[in-house]
Amino acid sequence: MAYTKWTYDKLAAEARKYQTKKEFRTKSSNAYASAKHRKILVDICSHMIAPRMYWTDELLAEEAKKYTTRMDFKTHSNGAYQAAHKRGIFEEICSHMQPLWTYEKLKEAAAQYTTRIELRANNGAAYKAAWKRGILDDVCSHMDNLITNWTDEMIVEEALKYSTRGEFAENSNAYQIAAKRGILDDVCGHMKLLITRWTEDMIIEEALKYNSRSEFKDGNKLAYTSALRRGILDKACAHMTPKNRQWSNEDIAKEALKYQRRNEFQKASTAYGIATVRGILDEVCAHMEYTARVNWTSELLAAEAKKYATRTDFYKKNNNAYSYARRLGILDEITQHLGYKDTYNTRDVVYLWFAEGDIFKVGITSQNLGDQRIYDVAKDAGFDPKTIIMEIVGTVRAKQLEGQILKMGKPVSFKRNFSGSSEFRHLTFEELEDVIEIIRAG
């Protein structure tokens, strides 16, 4: 970034962009250091909120009067916003504010989707607003499978539409009602049993169907992952073609055609390394999508951000640029055209997904990331995830619920640690139903 000669006026203008000294120091360290050196920090930061201010009810009420919407309140005075929630006076001191989502706007937003899952995934803000006001059932009344007065006979008929419990749970609220009434096992009796307890003999027998580890992993990821976790993968794959095969250039080119990106090729096949040594990597990878390394500048990051319609797209399709913009403190600036603030670190959603056997994963994420966290962890763990429930419960409550749920069941032991590995649990059916109820209750 270009060198800036900091005058008093420039430092004062820079300081006005931030609400706290910590934010000033983090996002504009050069300006902060210059102001501190010239002993004008207290002067130019006089507008800022004290980092450890004690909010009385009266001060909270006065602070809330400065804002016309709850979103403005949270954005510009998050400390007061959170304190009001904890004290239970939030609605009282915000009664003068205009709701960001009117009933008509919520109905209009929900009308674009046929299921709650679609609404939550594509417009989390509307979903959360409707849920908080207790009108979610109302605005989603046109959607499929939103019957609330399920009889046992209706639940049985509904369950027959699905072949697995994962599909049933994801697509119909009858699943939760069946679980509460204790008839879930009965109505799901026709479904495929996804909860397979892989014994060592079963794993070895399954592995014998394949000629290589990659075939084994692609053909039965659950058995492969069980073998890896138990440390018997080498034993189960002893009959397979060894990895140090003799690769001809023609074999390498044929192998490379299986992949769309270089990183996939590199992770899955030893042919990648051999192609690199032989100097034919660019040739055999010519058909692949390839993104060259970029030395990101502020200008390049701004140009990159303009390619996307939402921050989620930006995050998913060029995480490298997105993360670098965050580190530089310019993410809000270059994504102003996207129309909303960064909620990457809000961590206000609790989720539960099925891995294999009796193994489930609980965790928290941010609503604007949708199910991205689920698939990131599942990829590291080697599971094909089946989402059971995701609920927006708020930042504070999400952490509390996660801690409560992680006390249940038994921790899953993995051979290696990875992000999220400590949040997998062995759950019985009874424990699973309790977890679902805890999340739904918020």
Is the domain of 116 the same as that of 164?
A: no
CA max distance for the chain: 78
The H-assigned helical ranges of 77-135 are 78-87, 90-93, 103-110, 116-122, 124-133
| 203 in a structural domain | no
The per-residue pLDDT for range 243-260, each reduced to its tens digit, is 556 788 888 998 889 888
Give me the pLDDT at residue 343, please: 42
Q: Could you give the dihedral angle defined by the CA atoms of residues 256, 260, 262 and 264, in that order, rounded to the nearest 10 degrees?
A: -90
| 197 in a structural domain | no
User: Which is more confidently placed, 354 or 416?
Assistant: 354
Residues with Cβ within 8 Å of 71's Cβ and at least 6 positions away in sequence, in order, are 100
Give me the pLDDT at residue 2, please: 46
- For all residues of the chain together, what is the average pLDDT? 79
Which residue pairs from 94-97 have beta carbons closer than 8 angstroms and sit at least 24 positions apart in sequence? 94/64, 94/70, 96/64, 96/65, 97/64, 97/67, 97/68, 97/69, 97/70, 97/73
Give me the pLDDT at residue 103, please: 82
Question: And the tokens for 218?
Answer: 């692609």
| 284 in a structural domain | no
Is the domain of 308 the same as that of 366?
A: no
What pairs with residue 390 in β-bridges? 351
Identify whether the C-beta of residue 29 lies closer than 8 Å to the C-beta of residue 59: no
Radius of gyration of the chain from its Cα atoms, rounded to whole angstroms: 27
Cα separation of 120 and 166, whole Å?
18
The per-residue pLDDT for range 206-241, each reduced to its tens digit, is 888 888 887 888 777 778 877 877 778 878 888 886
Q: Residue 433 class from Cβ within 10 Å (0-12 exposed, 13-18 middle, 19+ buried)?
A: middle
Average pLDDT of the segment spanning 335-341: 61
The per-residue pLDDT for range 280-305, each reduced to its tens digit, is 888 888 888 665 667 788 888 888 88
Cα separation of 392 and 228, whole Å?
34
Helix (H, G, I), strand (E, B), or coil: what is residue 240? coil
Residues with Cβ within 8 Å of 62's Cβ and at least 6 positions away in sequence, in order, are none
pLDDT of residue 344 exceeding 60, the answer is no
pTM of the model: 0.31
The per-residue pLDDT for range 58-103, each reduced to its tens digit, is 888 988 888 887 777 877 777 788 888 888 888 888 888 766 677 8
Cα separation of 275 and 249, whole Å?
8
Give me the pLDDT at residue 362, please: 92
Structural domain that includes position 181: 152-187
Give me the pLDDT at residue 341, please: 42
Number of domains in the chain: 5
Is the domain of 437 the same as that of 361?
A: yes
| 222 in a structural domain | no
Identify whether the C-beta of residue 164 lies closer than 8 Å to the C-beta of residue 194: yes
Is the domain of 125 the same as that of 166?
A: no
pLDDT of residue 185 exceeding 60, the answer is yes
Cα separation of 163 and 159, whole Å?
8
Identify whether the C-beta of residue 350 lies closer than 8 Å to the C-beta of residue 398: yes
Is the domain of 131 the same as that of 174?
A: no
Is the domain of 387 the same as that of 314?
A: no
Single out the residue in 338, 367, 389 at which a domain terminates: 338
Where b means 16+ CB within 10 Å and e means fewer, 293-305 reads: eeebeeeebeebb
pLDDT of residue 339 exceeding 60, the answer is no
Among 418, 435, 237, 255, smallest CA distance to 350 is for: 435
Identify whether the C-beta of residue 122 lies closer than 8 Å to the C-beta of residue 114: no
Cα separation of 246 and 224, whole Å?
25
Instruction: Give percent above pLDDT 70 in the chain.
Output: 86
Give me the pLDDT at residue 54, please: 72
Comparing 89-93, 343-347, 368-372, 388-392, which segment has the lowest mean pLDDT?
343-347
Give me the pLDDT at residue 79, please: 78
Cα separation of 384 and 164, whole Å?
14
Is the domain of 353 the same as that of 436?
A: yes
Residues with Cβ within 8 Å of 60's Cβ and at least 6 positions away in sequence, in order, are 80, 83, 84, 87, 89, 93
| 316 in a structural domain | yes
Is the domain of 373 the same as that of 435?
A: yes
Is the domain of 365 the same as that of 415?
A: yes
Q: Residue 47 class from Cβ within 10 Å (0-12 exposed, 13-18 middle, 19+ buried)?
A: exposed
The per-residue pLDDT for range 146-171, each reduced to its tens digit, is 555 788 888 898 889 887 776 777 66
Identify whether the C-beta of residue 202 lies closer than 8 Å to the C-beta of residue 223: yes
Cα separation of 328 and 346, whole Å?
19
Identify whether the C-beta of residue 301 lies closer than 8 Å to the C-beta of residue 328: yes
| 46 in a structural domain | yes
Q: In this structure, what DSSP letter does residue 289 have?
A: B
| 164 in a structural domain | yes
Give the sign of the dihedral formed by CA 431, CA 389, CA 218, CA 248: negative
pLDDT of residue 364 exceeding 50, the answer is yes
Q: Hey, how many other C-beta atoms are within 10 angstroms of the C-beta on 18?
A: 21
Give me the pLDDT at residue 361, please: 92
Helix (H, G, I), strand (E, B), or coil: what is residue 25? helix
| 210 in a structural domain | no
Identify whether the C-beta of residue 438 lies closer than 8 Å to the C-beta of residue 351: no
Question: And the tokens for 214?
Answer: 């990659």
